[in-house]
Amino acid sequence: MMARPQRWDAPFGPEMSEDDVAELMSEHPISKINAHKFPEQTPLTGILRNDTRIINYQPGDLVVRSGDYGNSAFLVLEGRLRVVIAPELPRDLLGRQSVAKKSTLTALAQLWTNRRTPEVRSYRQDEATGVREGRDRATAVVFLQDVPAVLDQHQTAVLSEGALFGELAALGRIPRTASVFAETSARLLEIRWQGLREIRKYDEGFRRAIDERYRENALKVALHKIPEFSGLDETALQEVANSVLFETHGGFDWYISFQKMRGAGKQGAAHEPVIARQGDYPDGVLMVRAGFARVSVKLGNGDRTVSYIGAGDHFAMAELYDSWASGETHTLQASLTALGYVDLLRVPAPILEKYVFPTMGGRPRSPVERATTRTLTDDSLLEWAVNDRFINGTQAMLIDLDRCVRCDDCVRACASTHGGNPRFVRHGRTFDHWMVANACMHCADPVCMIGCPTGAIHRTEQGGMVVINDKTCIGCGTCANSCPYDNIRLVDIRDVSGNVLLDEDSQRPIQKATKCDLCATNPGGPACVRACPHDALRRVNFQGGAVFGGASG
């Protein structure tokens, strides 16, 4: 017997005290929130106690970095911060590496410069400038060493007490759009997304403020990118934007439950949060802002996956169009379920009928119609890839096992370009004669980037590859634990003599997170692909559905 696990078993900030909560309740803007609107099981004080933590920053400390993925928002309690407007801070100041290709000669020199022992680091650990250790490894921060120079050279805006920032990225699972640093010593309340969602849910003012901010800043741009809305004039687009409703489905930390469910063999639409059910009447079109959703139809005793939709795709447009065109109500032809976390925009049907459908060139195609021309076998690869979430991959390592002679030339090529240790394992989940190997897929929704305390794991400016800055990685393992595909590994690093480097305090090996970087610094692209003598290994983009015969979107 054991107590059923509860949501607040693991508080965000274990050191939060009742006094802290009481103090917060009197701080603006929390004092404006009507605590009586919250249900008994999730009181506002409980949210503050369990879903928030107080962090102190020193002058120059970076709080959020442009391009980072984060799952929390920040409320300024004390002090002054600056948000960098233009130009953006240089990448090295943000603790990121500048990816520069080696010359052919430098690349060739690896033949004799690679050490006999792997994972040797020739730089000194104290060269990893710009990282300030926190009370634990998860709260380490990157700091700016010359704040006056940054203020001179960059246009910034002040964020002072009571300002809330980072909430759109936290709720929408989209990258941070600007960097924020502490100008003076500052005390911030960090609110994790679960708490933010609850506050937004129960407090009308808070919700309106967040939604309005998104509506003002990004919604119209997002709508305009969708072909069906691109023909609208400014007034109509504003009307559509004003009517949009915001929804989230599934868990932000879906990778944890996903791994458990997969281990238990519970996969498929039946085990996912239902967003819309086949046969129901649609009241609006659903558009994905972030995450993925599965489109499935009932078949026999199960559900057949006919498609999946991701950011920028929509659902139920065809049914609503048919209803508008024929004057009869059409029900949903398929169900929509959340693949992990999905953030949606719902445009009500009357708005579509008034502004959107009249400007559309014709009836949009339903994904269900595509399925009628395909057999179950045709779509079995799609079903597998959706179940295993490989649809997240933009550079997945796909191996044709009917061609692969298991020679490991790919592994050796990877090792020779990465200091003697390969950055992937030629093993993974298989379907028919395909294997998706354990190599970083450079995901469209990179959950590994959420929570990196120093921003060491980041996307490159060009190409958008997910890479790790070895110098600012503190080996906390957050990324490796978050990766749902087990594609990040922590390695013990060594000095030039081949000795494992030990932490002075704990005497335990110092570790670094490593993963495939698509040979970003090597000339000629991924060495694994070039090294395969049988063309068995490819890097494929599961986005867009080309691999599945146009199944996505």
Partner 1 sequence: MRSVRSEHLIYWVVLVAIFAVLTIDIRWSADSLGEPLRLTGYLLYGVMFLLAFLNVRKRLSMIPLGRASFWLLLHSLGGVFAIALYWLHAPILWPSGVYEQAIAALVYGVTATGMFGYVIQRVYPARLTQTGLEVIYERIPGEIARIRSDAEAMVIDCTTTTGSDTLARHYFETFDWYFRRPRFAFSYLFGGQRGLQWVHQQWHTVGRYLSAQESAFLDRLTELGYEKTRLDVHYALQSAMKSWLLVHVPLSAALLVMATWHLILVHVYAL
Binding region for partner 1 (CB under 8 A): 104, 107-108, 110-111, 401-407, 409, 412-413, 416-417, 426-427, 430, 432-433, 435, 522-525, 527, 529-536
- For 14-100, strand residue ranges (E) read 52-57, 62-64, 72-78, 81-86
CB atoms within 10 A of CB 125: 13
3-state secondary structure of 463: coil
At residue 56, the 3 state secondary structure works out as strand
How far is residue 509's CA from residue 495's CA, in Å, rounded to a whole number? 11
208/534 with CB nearer partner 1: 534
Query: What sign for the dihedral angle of Cα 298, 303, 307, 311?
Result: positive
Our CB check for partner 1 shows the closer of 464 and 525 to be 525
Question: How is residue 298 written in tokens?
Answer: 């009932």
Closest distance to partner 1 from the beta carbon of 394 (Å): 22
CB of 262 or CB of 271, closer to partner 1: 262
Provide, rounded to whole angstroms, the least separation between the CB of residue 236 and partner 1.
51
| CB nearer to partner 1: pick between 25 and 407 | 407
In the complex with partner 1, the residue whose CB is nearer, 110 or 184, is: 110
SS (H, E, C) 118-136: CCECCCCHHHCCCEECCCC
114 or 238, CB closer to partner 1? 114
Q: Among residues 417 and 478, whose Cβ is nearest to partner 1?
A: 417
Take residue 530 and report the two structure tokens written for it: 């070039």
The nearer residue to partner 1, 262 or 412, going by C-beta atoms, is 412
Instruction: Say how far apart CA 21 and CA 48 lie, in whole Å.
Output: 6
Per-residue DSSP letter, 359: G
Q: To the nearest whole angstrom, how small is the minimum distance from the Cβ of residue 442 to partner 1?
A: 21
Give the span between the Cα atoms of 130 and 61, in whole angstroms.
Answer: 9
Q: End-to-end CA distance of the chain: give it in Å, rounded.
A: 46
Q: Which residue is associated with the tokens 């099981």?
A: 41
Quote the least distance from Cβ 536 to partner 1, whole Å: 8
E strand or H helix that includes residue 413: helix 409-417
Q: Report in angstroms how near the CB of residue 429 gets to partner 1 at its nearest.
A: 9
Distance of alpha carbon 371 from alpha carbon 198, whole angstroms: 39
CA 171 → CA 74, 168, 220, 264, distances in Å?
12, 5, 18, 29
Query: Nearest approach, Cβ of 517 to partner 1 (angstroms)?
Result: 14
**Distance between CA atoms of 542 and 418, rounded to whole angstroms?**
26
Take residue 79 and report the two structure tokens written for it. 């002090």
Q: How far is the CB of 111 from partner 1 (least distance, A)?
A: 7
How many other CB atoms are found less than 10 A from the CB of residue 302? 11
CB of 527 to partner 1, least distance (A): 5
Looking at the Cβ atoms of 110 and 259, the one nearer to partner 1 is 110
As measured in angstroms, the least distance from the Cβ of 210 to partner 1 is 47
Whose Cβ is closer to partner 1: residue 350's or residue 524's? 524
Shortest distance (Å) from residue 547 CB to partner 1: 19
CB of 393 to partner 1, least distance (A): 19
Q: Which of 193, 542, 200 is nearest to 392 (CA)?
A: 542
Q: Give the amino acid at 191.
A: I
- C-alpha distances (whole Å) from 117 to each of 8, 120, 124, 195, 527 are 45, 7, 17, 47, 21
Token pair of 427 as six digits = 């093993």
- Tokens representing 48 are 């503050």
Q: Compare residues 107 and 164 and give the one whose CB is closer to partner 1.
A: 107
